[in-house]
Amino acid sequence: MQKVYGYVRVSAKDQNEDRQMIAMREANVPEKNIVVEKMSGADFERPKYLRLTRRMKRNDILYIKSIDRLGRNYAEIQEQWRFLTKEKGADIVVLDMPILDTRIGRDLLGTFVSDLILQVLSFVAENERTNIRQRQAEGIAAAKEKGVHCGRPFHVLPENFEEVCLRWKAGELTATAAAQACGMSRTTFSRRANGVKK
C-alpha cells in the first residue's frame, strides 16, 4: 500500500521548521509520517533521513518543501534523486517547484524537463552553500581587520594574574597552586599563562 511521507530539514537547532510543516499539512501529508531533522544539508549522512529512505517502498511519495531541504551538495542531490526514484521506485514532490513532481510527465519530454530543472536547482543549492561559506570567511576577515575578536570570548583576567604567572614561571608556585590563586582551572591558567612573558 502506498505511503506518503514528508521530510523537513533545518540546518541548526535554533532554526524554525514551521514554514515547512505548514506546507506539509497543506499537502495532506500525515503528521505521523513527517520526519523533522535539524542538521546541515552539506551531505546525506543524516540519521533520520537515512531511516526514512530505508522505510520507503515502491510507489511511496516523499514531499519536500524545496530542493535545498533535501540537500546542498549538487552531486549528492542528483544521486539521492536517482536512488529514490529509480532504485526505490518512489515518487518525489517538491512543493515549491510543481514541475519537480515525478508522478506527472513520465514520458520522455516530461522526464527530460524535470531532470534538467533538477540539475539547475541542485547547482543553485550547492552554489548558495559555497557563497554562504565565502561570505562567512569575508565577514570574519573584515572583523579581524577591525580588531574584533572572533571565536570564544576572552574572560577578564584577575588582577593578580600577571604576578601569579611570573611566580609560576619562576618556579615559586605549581601550576595547580597558581590556577587556584587566580580562581581558574589549571588548563585555562596554563593556556593564558603562555601568553605572559617572563
Q: Is 190 a catalytic residue?
A: no
- Residue type at 16? N
Q: How far apart are CA 196 and CA 128, in angstroms?
A: 43
- Which cell goes with 173? 608556585
Catalytic residue among 11, 40, 66, 190: 11
Q: Indicate left, alpha or beta for 59 from its phi (over 0: left) and psi (-120 to 50: alpha).
A: left
| Active site amino acids | 11
